[in-house]
Structure 1
Amino acid sequence: MTADRQLYKLPRYCAMQIANHWHQSHRTHPIHPQSRPTIEREPCPWHIFRRQALIGSVLCWAGFLAMAWLVADGKTAPFDRAGLMLGRDAQLNPWGPAFLSEAARDITALGGTSLRLLAAMMAAFVLLRLQRRLAALFVGVAMAGGLLINTGLKLMFARPRPDFLPHLTEAGGSSFPSGHSFGAATIMLALALVCCGFARHATARRLLIGGALLLSASVAWTRVWLGVHYPSDVIAGWLGGVGWTLLLVTLLPFATLPGTARGAG
């Protein structure tokens, strides 16, 4: 009877011994927080949805056409004059210290043709060296196509530039649409989309695209600040540039995955 009772208590005794041993070992040798295994988040794959890009392009071009119709019909005159006069003194000069106008000229230079061509050529060269041939072609087509489209639109509308206030920078050619706004939106968004192929996480990609849109919009705003464009010119130009780049994404299949595979663009 005694032997049976001891045999019955044996599993319980073994369990207690194992529990005590585990408790003692972890109390005398605690696990350091830095030694604990961590689970890293996998980078999200980069993919531009062509349907959403097409919808965005259609909306941008619809806004461009609406602005073009309003300009051709003379309905933007009060809006344009109010936008140009905003923030100006009695001598029609912008308010604030002189360095603001100098900063505006520096920002507006980012949308100049020479700087855009240089940026596109450098980006294409780097992409070719990285064996991203299709991404390099995407940048080149975006730059060249945007320049041709904007030039054709300027010749079509032949709108004179504002002449009732001083121009704070040199500007030539027709006013509608703004070439700086169109070109800055095109090349900055195209470069941001290509750079997203090298970013590991979605947050970085959002910052790249958002930064490109914000910087190109700043270029557009400086054209009004410097008195060389009407507000309707820069709005139409910016919408056209974004719409052209998004349209190119839908037309060129390689642009949907610019950096996911070596040599795939």
Structure 2
Amino acid sequence: MAGNLALTGILVALLKNVYQRPRPTIQHLVEEGGFSFPSGHALASTLVVGALVIIVSQRVKNRHLRHLLQVLLMVFILTIMTSRVYLGVHYPTDVLGSLFLGLGMLHIEFPYYDKLRFQWRFRRKQN
């Protein structure tokens, strides 16, 4: 996960400088500097909490508890995204783009995580 967050920081800085989208011109509840797209908060929360959703789906055996935790975690991501728009520091498309970018990153990397997890467990059982 630490690698995810480091990659997120680099990716957000790169994309902000490529697109250079100005922040909304409405009165902000908080002041943010820099450009608007992508939303670092939305992307980081999608990666971290999205990873937790996947881990919960793999590890929690009780179906009702698993679904409850997944829904709560997804609501948490949506709350962060909504707050960025409500505070006036991002457009809705900024947070939606960040959500899709984060989901794409999770989709690419989790097959590798599963493969490594299997290898680690296999090595532990051999020792």
Which TM bucket (shorter chain)? 0.7 to 0.9
The offset of 1:248, in angstroms, is 1.0
Aligned to 2:3: 141
Amino acid at match of 1:226: L
Gap regions ≥5 residues in structure 1: 1-138
- Decide which of 82, 94, 100 is 1:233's aligned counterpart: 94
- How is 1:6-155 mapped onto 2 (pairs within 5 angstroms)? 139-155=1-17
Structure whose alpha-carbon radius of gyration is higher: 1
TM-score (normalised: structure 2): 0.78
Aligned to 1:174: 35
Provide closer, same or farther for how the CA distance between residues 195 and 143 of structure 1 changes in structure 2, counting only shifts above 3 A: farther
Q: Is the 8 A contact 1:146 1:182 kept in 2?
A: yes
Name the count of aligned residue pairs. Answer: 122
Query: In structure 2, how many angstroms separate the alpha carbons of the residues matched to 1:212 and 1:204?
Result: 12
Query: In structure 1, how many angstroms separate the alpha carbons of the residues matched to 2:20 and 2:81?
Result: 19
Aligned to 1:160: 22
Gap regions ≥5 residues in structure 2: none
Q: Is the 8 A contact 1:217 1:238 kept in 2?
A: no
Q: Is the 8 A contact 2:8 2:40 kept in 1?
A: no
Aligned to 1:183: 44
TM-score (normalised: structure 1): 0.41
Amino acid at match of 2:22: P
Provide closer, same or farther for how the CA distance between residues 203 and 141 of structure 1 changes in structure 2, counting only shifts above 3 A: farther
The offset of 1:186, in angstroms, is 0.7
- How is 1:203-242 mapped onto 2 (pairs within 5 angstroms)? 203-242=64-103
Aligned to 1:194: 55
Query: In structure 2, how many angstroms separate the alpha carbons of the residues matched to 1:148 and 1:212?
Result: 25
Provide closer, same or farther for how the CA distance between residues 254 and 239 of structure 1 changes in structure 2, counting only shifts above 3 A: same
Q: Is the 8 A contact 1:185 1:241 kept in 2?
A: yes
Sequence identity (%) = 29
Provide closer, same or farther for how the CA distance between residues 157 and 222 of structure 1 changes in structure 2, counting only shifts above 3 A: same
Query: In structure 1, how many angstroms separate the alpha carbons of the residues matched to 2:4 and 2:42?
Result: 14
